[in-house]
Amino acid sequence: MNALTTVIFVFSNVFSLLRFSIAVDTITVNQPIRDGETITSAGGSFELGFFSPGNSKNRYLGIWYKKLATGTVVWVGNRESPLTDSSGVLKVTQQGILVVVNGTNGILWNTTSSRSAQDPKAQLLESGNLVMRNGNDGDPENFLWQSFDYPCDTLLPGMKLGRNRVTGLDRYLSSWKSADDPSKGNFTYGIDLSGFPQLFLRNGLAVKFRAGPWNGVRYSGIPQLTNNSVYTFDFVSNEKEIYIIYSLVNSSVIMRLVLTPDGYSRRSTWTDKKYDWTLYSTAQRDDCDNYAICGAYGICKIDQSPKCECMKGFRPKFQSNWDMADWSNGCVRSTPLDCQKGDGFVKYSGVKLPDTQNSWFNESMNLKECASLCSRNCSCTAYGNSDIRGGGSGCLLWFGDLIDIRDFTQNGQEFYVRMAASELDAFSSLNSSSKKKKKQVIVISISITGIVLLSLVLTLYVLKKRKRQLKRRAYMEHDLEGDETIEGRKHLELQLFDLDTLLNATNNFSNGNKLGEGGFGPVYKGILQEGQEIAVKMMSKTSKQGLEEFKNEVESIAKLQHRNLVKLFGCCIHGRERMLIYEYLPNKSLDLFIFGQMQSVVLDWPMRFLIINGIARGLLYLHQDSRLRIIHRDLKAENILLDNEMNPKISDFGIARSFDGNETEVNTTTVAGTVGYMSPEYASEGLYSTKSDVFSFGVLVLEIVSGKRNRGYNHPNCNLNLLGHAWTLYIEDRSLEFLDASMGNTCNLSEVIRTINLGLLCVQRFPDDRPSMHSVVLMLGGEGALPQPKEPCFFTDRNMMEANFSSGTQSPITLLEAR
């Protein structure tokens, strides 16, 4: 026995002495395990118990390889709520929930279950999966809960990495903060469902590495990924779920994929000869795997110097930066597109396909149909096959800039990029020199004639534009300062935008630039000539809001300055067209993250709590600290926008109202707002005050915590809306069941319960019972006991409408808009 073997043998024995295995793989209601005790999977591969990582003295519930001398941990339960001593106990409740409690019986971590349990028991499987079984039912489909659904930093064979489309459960890897701290670090690795699905490694919200879209064989950005003699993998996408999974060919091999604290995805195998892990492969191999290293329309070629070059027909956006090896700003077209005159497409082969976040796909179309579709859509910048098997099938269209492309020597793909018709000849070798000379003569002749005509046209255009601008400004000044004056207009530092400027910025308000549509009208992304990104909100002809709402929003928000309020840059009035120009917020609105298409980017509890705090501070400013006391009247998830750091900003002040003097409550005969967020006194009597906004805030808090909409929610087991469901769980001391399951184990449980309590305080029936936003902010930041809420006002959308419009009621209230 050599020295190394002796050291490992001694370490292994010390490791085993620190824990007492109860020689079973199951925990029951009557048989918990305490710190110092463990259970072992049937084949002896994995062990579960409490441990301390690295040099830390904190204690965590974890699963580790039992047969390996290093005791490598593969899963941690209470990673955000460590024990500070060895008093921890893991219990199974009668409801089929796993709970970690401390010496005072305080809950530090728990699982969730949406189904009732009979004779529940937790079992550690030989795969390393900790499952909660319902009696002796061994069917995986019937497990009440399983650790494989809540991975930490390790992906084991048989684990799914991806999303359940039915339940919304998102399985993704999240790094440890350090070797001594298993709490959630900055890095995540999972499938992104924006556009055509692809695998992302993120640092916070910023993409660090993109594996690219799945092409039927492998991920486009990992050409070395192939089935081999060690493991096989598969990508599954259907109506119910989308995920990637791998399996070992030889069960005697020990393999894991780990997301390291410094943000690298590494696949390793255990080597008995070395008694250590050996790196098998890594997703990030070189500098070209750094996301968007060459910027838009740049291609990274690792074998050349410099490694970045512009695609053919493009040039560096800033040549001076490019010369200094700063390629981040990418490239721009040498010749602008002219879709009306006809563009063409250039084929690129042997590359990693561009980022597909802004893409569209159809798996049943062929390449010819795909090319025709892209050609007809002027916003389409590129197309290609979505599946490379059998010669290629499916259609994938790109919109916007093409980002994160690299050159591959093998297993690259091909796609087709839209180019101006005049650029196509530069890519063709079929033209003879005589044809080129002839074309040059023609071009020169046409150019001379064109220059003369262009000079005349430009002169007339400049004169006409100047006249139109003077007329437009006079029209706008009259419209804003005439009989229906916006108070204080002369004191507003509000930019008046020219319509042509906005047309250029938004590509003529193309569908490719459209961000969405609300009650006011469509919203478009734009980029001004100096590079400033903007969002342009255009009042549609069918909008239920009119000139009054437009003026109101300009008047209200132009005077407001707060980090949690969206910033208004200016407005534009041209004829009957009215537009508001805001700062562009890349993460769009909150509802997309908790209800909609961005659910694949899971908002953990710290992020949700940060958003709740930001909204509260923004409302406090409106109610108390702004020059005008503003009642928003339409606070909802769709009107909370998120910047690139996920800071919330309240938007849409079209129906907001200001209070004068000592006014505390106003009565209106026209109720405007959104069903499900309106307070009962406002919906039924037309009374609104700051407490109306508090009610809406409370609804929003409960939606953020639960991940479910109030409007349209109906509990499957009882006829309750979301507020009623939250109240029932609260009075039964079961508030943790209200929590969105997609957050996994990221929660500070006491903070969650406190937040639910606060949400219920805000949705109490009577306005005087609800706290002010000043009190709300203090409660969110404090630690003392909160008041007991009273039973909220239960109503559904239908019941509220009936209350307003019942035949026996002579109410003067008119519901202007129930969006």
Decide: helix, strand or coil at residue 425. helix
- Within 10 Å of residue 384's Cβ, how many Cβ atoms? 28
CA-to-CA distance for 167 and 102, rounded, in angstroms? Answer: 31
Q: Beta strand pairing status for 98-101 and 107-110?
A: antiparallel
**Identity at 332, one-letter amino acid code:** V
CA-to-CA distance for 803 and 806, rounded, in angstroms? Answer: 6
Decide: helix, strand or coil at residue 627. coil
CB 401 within 8 A of CB 436: no
483 part of the active site: no
For residues 17, 18, 22, 25, the Cα torsion angle rounded to the nearest 10 degrees is -110
Place of tokens 């909609």: 596
**Identity at 660, one-letter amino acid code:** D
CB 209 within 8 A of CB 220: no
CA-to-CA distance for 358 and 192, rounded, in angstroms? Answer: 12
For 297, phi and psi rounded to 5 degrees? 60, 20
DSSP letter at 415 equals E
- Between 722-731 and 749-762, two packed helices, what is the crossing angle to 10 degrees? 120
For 794, phi and psi rounded to 5 degrees? -85, 125
Decide: helix, strand or coil at residue 721. coil
DSSP of 724-786, one letter per residue?
Answer: HHHHHHHHTT-GGGGS-GGGTT---HHHHHHHHHHHHHHTBSSGGGSPPHHHHHHHHH--SPP
**Identity at 423, one-letter amino acid code:** E
- Within 10 Å of residue 303's Cβ, how many Cβ atoms? 9
Nearest CA among 264, 256, 259, 215 for reference residue 235: 215
Q: Is the dihedral of CA 761, 763, 767, 773 positive or negative?
A: positive
Q: Spell out the residues 6+ positions from residue 680 whose beta carbon is closer than 8 angstroms to its own.
A: 695, 765, 793, 795, 800
Cα-based distances in Å from 313 to 305, 332, 406, 453: 20, 9, 17, 27
Q: Beta strand pairing status for 33-34 and 89-92?
A: antiparallel
Residue 176 is inside which H or E element, if any?
strand 173-178
Composition of the chain by helix, strand, coil, percent to 5: 30, 30, 45
CB 399 within 8 A of CB 374: no
Cα-based distances in Å from 326 to 318, 330, 720: 9, 9, 57
Q: Which of 153, 289, 343, 634 is catalytic?
A: 634
CA-to-CA distance for 654 and 656, rounded, in angstroms? Answer: 6
Question: At CA 153, angle to CA 105 and CA 286, rounded to 5?
Answer: 160
CA-to-CA distance for 573 and 479, rounded, in angstroms? Answer: 9
Half-sphere exposure of 262 (CA within 13 A, CB side): 2
Question: At CA 278, angle to CA 276 and CA 284, rounded to 5?
Answer: 140
Positions marked catalytic: 634
